[in-house]
Chain A
Amino acid sequence: MIHFISKRLKHSLVLLFLASVVCFTLVVSAPGNVAVLIAELRGAVAVPGYVAQVAEEIGLNKPLLMRYVDWLGDAVTGDFGISYRTGQAVSADLPQRMMVTGTLIAGSALIATLLSLLLGFLGAFWPYKLPDRVSRGLALIGASTPTFFVGALMIYGFSVTFQLFPSFGFNGPISWVLPWLTVAVLPAAVLSRVVRVGLEEAMTSPYVLTAKSKGLGRTAILFREALPNITPVFINALGTQVGLMTATGIIVEPLFAWQGVGDYFLAGVRFRDFMVVQACLLIFLTFFIVVNLVVDLAVLMTDPRIRRQWS
């Protein structure tokens, strides 16, 4: 176990370093000139030589390698530089925004897990019957509706028509419901199929025949025999979905006026605010890597066959 974790941590560090290179390269090779935008912001874009002065001021004239080393050196100490747009330290903005996005992802992941288990088990308990068809239909709709549209529907349905939940803001659980649901729809749909198909496969396996021959009932077989067998598969799929929620957040946070990392990232992109964009990308990537690490550990705990290879 310890061996596994230390090995994976080493891999993660290498991965994180490579990711930072890609982040930086992507951002600096994006079109647009932030110096012009800053000059515009200060109302001095027409002043001759001012753009060049800004570029000098924010260090755009240094060689790329130097800029990268400077940035990375600061980033590892938690300093992500100064936002070009607001003039504030990025690291000062980040904690609050990470908390917001964390709330979004955690709530949505929980809802997606519960919802997908419910739908998947309904389908597996009554295969090819009405509950299964309903579950399958919902999964199809959920997986094929774009998230921004889901969000708009949520606001229209639960906020405008029935006025159950607020449509924006970050003011306590009641205002979290709609964003949570919006983000959870797609992963819940995808994961419900993972559960349903996994259970069906498990239910036709020889060990389930054995369980039947032991006189166990259907419910006991589903929960005691089949569920532990699909748990590692489910955790893997859930990990992927949770990782992707960072991307969904970019769409959903502005929709509900949440000041999260996704919203920050989007604003950064609009303004060519390299420092913000780089910081957000690095946070997303770190999150992905951590999620993967946690997933691997969870799979290790739930599947004794894999556990043995590492103990």
Chain B
Amino acid sequence: MHDEPLLNVSNLTVDLLTAKSAIRPVDGVSYTVRQGECLAIVGESGSGKTVMNFAPLGLMPTGVTTSLSGSVRFGGRELIGLPEQEVRKIRGKSIGFIFQDPMSALNPVRRIGRQIAEMAELHLDMTPRAAEARALELVKLVGISDPAARLRQYPHELSGGLRQRIVIATALAGEPKLLIADEPTTALDVTVQAQILRLLKDLQRRLNMAMVLITHDMGVVAGAADNIVVMYAARAAERGPVDKVLVKPRHPYTRGLINAIPKREDPIGSQFRGLPGIPPTLGAPFKGCAFAPRCDFSVPTCTASRPPLVPSADGSVFVACPVVNEGRAAA
């Protein structure tokens, strides 16, 4: 606790301005990740979980103007306001990225070996030859059989699981301190998902990296993460250690999410338990708690003002819900 966490995000707000519209996909979110720690960021599509991690590192599509406020400190360095040239040096070198769809994340017309090796050339000042050797090493590290042959192949010649391993090898090539994995198992077959997750977890531990795992799969969270941030409509609904949040979710949204996981004792043919209603669109401004219209427990105060993310009865879990926190105050 004496030293600063590797990644310290506080009160991050992201505004996206396109030619036609302005939206705020991330609204005042805070979290930290320490070295060797894995943080899961959970939320449904459009809840801002990807933008939150990509925008401060300049990984936004062209044609979108991104405006950031708050603070993102990485390794003691403020990323917000840092010129693109400087941010670029951090990308790949200190922070590695893993993407959702390995089918499209690799360049289809370049050999796999080159795509990995250029990272080592760029960030570790290696000669092309040394970089090739490093690529071979990395491909072995991510558990690919016949590594030398793989390096000469093109992405379309490999299966989804293998390609994701290549993406992981690429992300590791610059020896990053932090790995940001954006739904790394979503696009894969179920059997492969577990392997990739185990690999990621294993590498994270062995290389003592920090990892941010963006996902909507509670199973992934339970298996891999130390801490969790639950996002809903651009805001953090709940934050805390995984073992506490998953076992005893406090925020009604987290409860709904966990309750929606099919259980073993569910009778065959029973309906999925979903959350009633639909998530709000990001463009529409709302006062108070964004989840209130779908919440079974909402009270008038919910819509009056935005509930702050404050410690619950268990000080390590933070919840943004006036009802939960009110109950604690009363108790």
Contact = CB atoms under 8 A, between A and B. Distances in A.
Interface of A: 127, 203-207, 209-217, 224-225, 228-229, 231, 302-305, 308
Given A207-B107, A210-B106, A216 B118 contact: yes
B109 A206 contact: no
Interface in B96-141: 96-97, 99, 101, 104-110, 118-119, 122-123
A303 B156 CA distance: 11
A210 B99 contact: yes
A212 B59 contact: yes
B122 A207 contact: no
A215 B108 contact: no
Contacts of B93: 215
B156 A305 contact: yes
A225 B107 contact: yes
B158 to A, nearest CB: 12
B163 to A, nearest CB: 11
Nearest to B98: A213
A217 B123 CA distance: 12
Nearest to A206: B104
A304 B62 contact: no
Contacts of A127: 62-63
B92 A217 contact: no
Of the listed residues B90, B96, B109, the one surrounded by the most CB atoms of chain A closer than 10 A to its CB is B109
A209 B99 contact: yes
B91 interface: yes
Interface size class of B (residues with CB under 8 A): 20 to 34
Interface-central residue, A204, A215, A303, by most chain B CB under 10 Å: A215
A161 B80 CA distance: 57
Given A206-B101, A308-B156, A308-B157, A228 B92 contact: no
Contact of B122 (A215, A302, A304, A308): A215
Contacts of A231: 109
Nearest to B123: A215
Contacts of A204: 61-62
B110 A215 contact: no
Given A204-B62, A206-B105, A215-B122, A228 B110 contact: yes
A204 B59 CA distance: 11
Contact of A213 (B97, B122, B154): B97
Interface in B160-196: 167, 170-171, 174
Majority-rule SS of A interface residues: helix
Contacts of A308: 154, 156-157
Given A210-B167, A225-B110, A205 B62 contact: no
Contacts of A213: 57, 59, 91-92, 96-97, 99, 171
B89 interface: yes
Contacts of A224: 110, 118
Contacts of A228: 107, 109-110
Interface of B: 57-59, 61-63, 88-93, 96-97, 99, 101, 104-110, 118-119, 122-123, 154, 156-157, 167, 170-171, 174
Nearest to B119: A214
Contact of A215 (B89, B99, B106, B107): B89
A311 to B, nearest CB: 11
Nearest to B101: A206
B107 A211 contact: yes
Contacts of A216: 92, 118, 122
Contacts of A229: 107-109
A205 to B, nearest CB: 7
A308 B155 CA distance: 12
19 contacts: A204-B61, A204-B62, A206-B104, A206-B105, A207-B105, A209-B59, A210-B106, A214-B91, A214-B97, A215-B93, A215-B119, A217-B88, A225-B107, A228-B107, A304-B108, A304-B154, A305-B108, A305-B109, A305-B154
Nearest to B97: A213
Nearest to A205: B104
A308 B170 CA distance: 24
Nearest to A202: B107
Given A203-B62, A204-B62, A213-B59, A302 B92 contact: no
A209 B88 CA distance: 12
Contact of B105 (A210, A215, A302): A210
Contacts of B101: 206
B122 A206 contact: no
Contacts of A217: 88
Contacts of A203: 62
Contacts of A302: 109
Q: Which 7 A-B pairs have the closest CB atoms?
A: A215-B92, A213-B97, A206-B104, A214-B92, A304-B154, A215-B91, A207-B107
B88 A207 contact: no
A214 B122 contact: yes
Contacts of B58: 212
Nearest to A210: B105
A303 B109 contact: yes
Nearest to A232: B109
Contacts of A205: 104
B157 to A, nearest CB: 7
Contacts of B118: 214, 216, 224
Contacts of A304: 108-109, 154, 156
Nearest to B116: A214
A305 B156 CA distance: 7
